Every structure is written in structure tokens, then in C-alpha cells.
């Protein structure tokens, strides 16, 4: 067992940061949770588990924000930094990316100012491959700033989340027996379980200095849409058919998503899944079927009745 560390986790009440908190607590580490909503129910739940809550807003670069972030980062052994899309910029890929860059830079600058011994920055897989996708380019800008800052740095870059397949927007589709994505049925796609991001971040933090200066694209499994539908059929207990949506639907709804699916169809992620499993066995990697069998499909059925299906 690695020595106990004190870790600041950004976005601790969100999906990715929350997975990192869970992994760290399970491994016996102390967590300081960075959140914009210290009075919220999620923050209260974390406090009840012994997590220290640090309130700070990373949306601005002014003295008020920077001071709060630096104070939150002082005295920790590591800082897991992640940003999330701003809902105010939904459907505006370039605007959304710009806001994430501002937040990411603020987090990096706070880590440097506080003298954090190890910054673990969560980016996105393939951001360093000149994709032209606004969100990817924004993540790359933060990566470059972090490298130039001189911070002791590890970059982890997840692929698409498995959890995205059961998001509320797709619940009705699955409830009606289809898995619909704007990709051909036979196109392989890499996915990662959010729990594996948490486990990987914890493993990187425990390995410490040996991981500084490295960048990892991370994925849990790779499969086609048809294969995913077949697995879901078996797990859920009713037939799920894969439907390839026209890419134009994505373009109408979200410029960033449209560009991403175009790139996924043309190129796609290339994380070294087998190497990751060999080099980091302590993560407890999920293949797609194992992940699917651990989901609450009853909750999905309830969501399906509350959400409209996507266009046919």
C-alpha cells in the first residue's frame, strides 16, 4: 500500500472528479474536494465521508478566484485537475472550448503558485493529434500551458465514457430497443468506464515522481456499435438494435459533437488498451460487458419514460 497522500480533486461533485474521489478514499488517501457549490447536497455527502471541502470558482482569472484556488491547493501532495463544459455555451463548440481553457489555465496556475508536488491534469484522448475539434483543441491549449508552467505534471487523457451511452438523452432510445449513434454499425469505438479514470488517476498519484512528464491516452475497451447493442441486449434482457444516425443530426444539434463524430469515423482514438492493462493492473479495468452488468437498468427504464426519443 502506498503512503497516505493528501489530494486536491477539482470537480469532486461531478462525474469524473467524483470517480477520482471514490478511488482515493477506497485506497486510504485523504481528499480535499474543490467545488463551486460547498453548500450543496453532494458536498454534504462528501463531508459525511470525511472529505474536506474547499470552495473556489475556476471560471475567472481575477485575484478573488486565483487566491481561493491557491489556498485550496496549498499543503497537498497532488492535485487532480479537470474542467467540464460550461452549460451556458451548449451548442457553441468554440465558445465552450474557450471557457474550458480559461478554467484549466486557472487550475494550472493555482497549482504552480501553491507549489503542488504533482499535478495530474485530465485532458481528452487524441487532443495532441491535431483533430480540429474545438473541445479537443481547447484541452490541448491547457496541456501546453501546463507543460510550459514547469509544474511536475502527468497528463491523463480519457476516450469517450461508457456512461455517455446511458445518458438521459439516450435513455428513451434504449428503452425503445435501439442504440443510436452517428457512426456506421461496424465502426470500432474506444470507451472508458468512469470508474477506471478514477482508478487510473489514483494509481498515477501513488506512483508519484516516476509518472511526471508523461502523457497517457486511456481506454477500457474497444467495440463496434453492433457489438455494444448485442451485449446490451443480453444484459438488459430485451433486444437492442443498433441504428446509425445521419451525421447531419449532430451538426444541427452541436457543432463540436458533429466534428467529433466525423473525426471518430475517419480516424478514431488509439489508446494502447492491452499495455494499459499490463502496466496498471491495480486499476481494475472494466470491459464493456462487465461495466454494463453493474449498471442500474431499472433506473434507465424510469428515465426512458421521462425523456423523448431522439429523431429517427
For residue 248, what pLDDT is reported? 64
pTM of the model as a whole: 0.91
> Among candidates 244, 211, 256, which has minimal Cα distance to 121?
211
- DSSP annotation string for 255-292: HHHHHHHHHHHHT-----HHHHHHH-GGG-PPPHHHHH
In a domain, 13, yes or no: yes
User: Domain with 98 in it: what CATH number?
Assistant: 3.40.50.720
Residue 99 lies in a domain: yes
Cα 304 from Cα 300, distance rounded (Å): 6
∠ CA 89-195-206, nearest 5°, is 105
- pLDDT tens, residue by residue, 159-196: 999 999 888 777 778 888 999 999 999 999 999 999 99
Query: What is the 8-class DSSP label of residue 92?
Result: -
Question: Is the residue at 290 inside a domain?
Answer: no
Pairing of strands 188-192, 221-224: antiparallel
Cα-atom radius of gyration of the chain, to the nearest Å? 19
Total number of domains in the chain: 1
Domain containing residue 35 = 6-163+191-218
81 domain-assigned: yes
pLDDT (tens digit, 9 = 90+) per residue, 283-300?
999 999 999 999 988 766
Q: What is the mean pLDDT of residues 269-277?
A: 98
pLDDT confidence of 99, banded at 50, 70, 90? confident
Q: What is the pLDDT of residues 27-56, one digit of tens each?
A: 999 999 998 888 999 999 999 999 999 988
Is residue 55 in a domain?
yes
- Which helix or strand (DSSP H or E) is residue 136 part of? helix 134-149
CB–CB of 121/179 below 8 Å? no
Residue 300 lies in a domain: no
Ranges 65-69, 201-205, 259-263: which has the least confidence: 65-69
Q: Which residue has the cell 461496424?
A: 186
Domain membership of residue 233 (yes or no) is no
**Residue 118 located in a structural domain:** yes
User: Residue 85's pLDDT is what?
Assistant: 66
pLDDT value at residue 257: 85
DSSP code string of 113-129: HHT-S-EEEE--TTGGG
Residue 36: per-residue pLDDT:
84
Amino acid at each position: 500500500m502506498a503512503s497516505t497522500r493528501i489530494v486536491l480533486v477539482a470537480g469532486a461533485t461531478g462525474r469524473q472528479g467524483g470517480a477520482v474521489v471514490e478511488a482515493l478514499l477506497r485506497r486510504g488517501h485523504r481528499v480535499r474536494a474543490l467545488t463551486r457549490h460547498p453548500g450543496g447536497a453532494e458536498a454534504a455527502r462528501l463531508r459525511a465521508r470525511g472529505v474536506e471541502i474547499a470552495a473556489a470558482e475556476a471560471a475567472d482569472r481575477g485575484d478573488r478566484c486565483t487566491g481561493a484556488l491557491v489556498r485550496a491547493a496549498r499543503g497537498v501532495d497532488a492535485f487532480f485537475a479537470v474542467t467540464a463544459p460550461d452549460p451556458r455555451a451548449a451548442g457553441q463548440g468554440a465558445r465552450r472550448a474557450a471557457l474550458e481553457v480559461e478554467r484549466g489555465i486557472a487550475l494550472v496556475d493555482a497549482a504552480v503558485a501553491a507549489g503542488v508536488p504533482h499535478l495530474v491534469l485530465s485532458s481528452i484522448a487524441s487532443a495532441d493529434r491535431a483533430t480540429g475539434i474545438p473541445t479537443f483543441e481547447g484541452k490541448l491549449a491547457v496541456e501546453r500551458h501546463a507543460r510550459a508552467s514547469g509544474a511536475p505534471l502527468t497528463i491523463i487523457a480519457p476516450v469517450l465514457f461508457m456512461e455517455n451511452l446511458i445518458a438521459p438523452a439516450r435513455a428513451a432510445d434504449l428503452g425503445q430497443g435501439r442504440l443510436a449513434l452517428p457512426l456506421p454499425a461496424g465502426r470500432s469505438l474506444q470507451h472508458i468506464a468512469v470508474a477506471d479514470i478514477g482508478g487510473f488517476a489514483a494509481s498515477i498519484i501513488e506512483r508519484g515522481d516516476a509518472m511526471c512528464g508523461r502523457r497517457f491516452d486511456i481506454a477500457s475497451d474497444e467495440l463496434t456499435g453492433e457489438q455494444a447493442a448485442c451485449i446490451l441486449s443480453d444484459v438488459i434482457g430485451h433486444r437492442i438494435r443498433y441504428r446509425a444516425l445521419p451525421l447531419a443530426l449532430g451538426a444541427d444539434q452541436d457543432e463540436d459533437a458533429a466534428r467529433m463524430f466525423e473525426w471518430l469515423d475517419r480516424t478514431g482514438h488509439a489508446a494502447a488498451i492491452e499495455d494499459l492493462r499490463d502496466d496498471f493492473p491495480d486499476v481494475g479495468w472494466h470491459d464493456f460487458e462487465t461495466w454494463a452488468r453493474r449498471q442500474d437498468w431499472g433506473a434507465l427504464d424510469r428515465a426512458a419514460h421521462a425523456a423523448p426519443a431522439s429523431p429517427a
